[in-house]
Each structure stands twice: as C-alpha cells, then as structure tokens.
Amino acid sequence: MSGSTRSNFILGLVLVAFSAVLLFVWIPLDTDTGYIEKVRRQVTVGDAAAPSIAALFLLTGGLLLIFVERARADQPAFGRRHLVFVLSFVGWTVLSLLVMRYAGPALVAVLGMDMEYRLLRDTLPWKYVGFLIGGTMLISGGISMVEGRVRPQRVLLSLVITTVMMLIYDVPFEDLLLPPNGDV
C-alpha cells in the first residue's frame, strides 16, 4: 500500500468513526426532536434531520475512501494541481452561495418592486429564485470542475437536481424557508 493510499485509508476510517459518533451519540444527545416533527397535523423538519444528512455524507465519503481508493503509487498525495483545484472549488462555492443569497433581493431591486424582498421571501416565485440560481450554479460548477469543461447537459442536470431538492425540502413543509430566505 503506497503512502497516498494508506493516508486515504486512514482518513476513510477516521471519517467512518466520526460519522458513527455523530449519528449514534452526538445527534441523539444534542437534539430535542427527531428527523420529522408532527405537531397538531403540521409536519416540520426536526432538529436531527440536517446534521444526520451531513453525517451520512461524511460516512459515504469515508466508505468511498476505504473501498474505492484508486490512487497510483507514483501519484503525489497532495500537489500543486490539487491545491489549485481545492481553492478553485472553494472559491466557486463561495461565489455560488453569494449568488444564492443576493439573487432574490437583486431581482426585486432590478424590477423596481414596491415591496422589500424580506416581505416576499415566502411567496412564489421569490422563495425559489436564489436557491434555484445559486444551487444550479454550485452543482454545475462543481461538475464542470471535475470534468474539466462546461457542458450544457450538466447545467440542465444541475437545474433538475436543484428543482428536486426544492420539491423535497419545501413542498412537504409549510413553514420551512429554503436557504437563504431564513436568514434574510
């Protein structure tokens, strides 16, 4: 086992252990509600939902590092090319989140509407503007960076993925505001 492969294997084990602690110890002890809370026929997202989803992503990444490691022995563990990729990805993520945050208010300002965005943030179509544009930008940009080129099919796929996420997280819950509207 090369140094890079061994490092990834150890990192995978650490991620699996950490996500197990999150899922079975920390989250149950730290949250008051479960994944979904039903009070007086109203369904809301529980306190445990978001951190559990994040822990499952960590678990998946750890398992991938353990079982699907494909690094060659002559490949550097972390080189200049990797640093540029990571910094580019972080920069794109920050830019996408800024677009997600300010797309709705900017569109309201450009259209010259009489109301503040804060008052419109839970009405159609305003509740979806930032999430749809920023989420599509984030996903398509990530795919494009990994593939090394921008393809229209991937942008369309990103739009579909973002729309499905909106339907999953917004439609079943009456009082849930998609990001970034809860913070506006």
Give per-10-residue mean pLDDT for the chain (184 aa): 70 91 88 76 75 89 79 60 87 95 91 86 87 95 93 96 89 75 64
* The pLDDT value given to residue 178: 79
State the Cα angle at 159 between 156 and 164, rounded to 5°.
130
Give backbone dihedrals phi and psi of 38, rounded to 5 degrees, phi first.
-120, 115
Q: Tell me if the pTM is above 0.85.
A: no
In whole angstroms, how far apart are CA 95 and each of 18, 78, 84, 107, 125?
29, 25, 16, 17, 22
Separation between Cα atoms, residue 174 and residue 171, nearest integer Å: 7
* The pLDDT value given to residue 147: 92
* The pLDDT value given to residue 172: 76
- Amino acid at site 60: T
Task: Name, in order, each residue with C-beta under 8 angstroms of 159's C-beta and a sequence gap of 6 or more.
Answer: 132, 136, 140
* The pLDDT value given to residue 159: 97
* The pLDDT value given to residue 184: 52
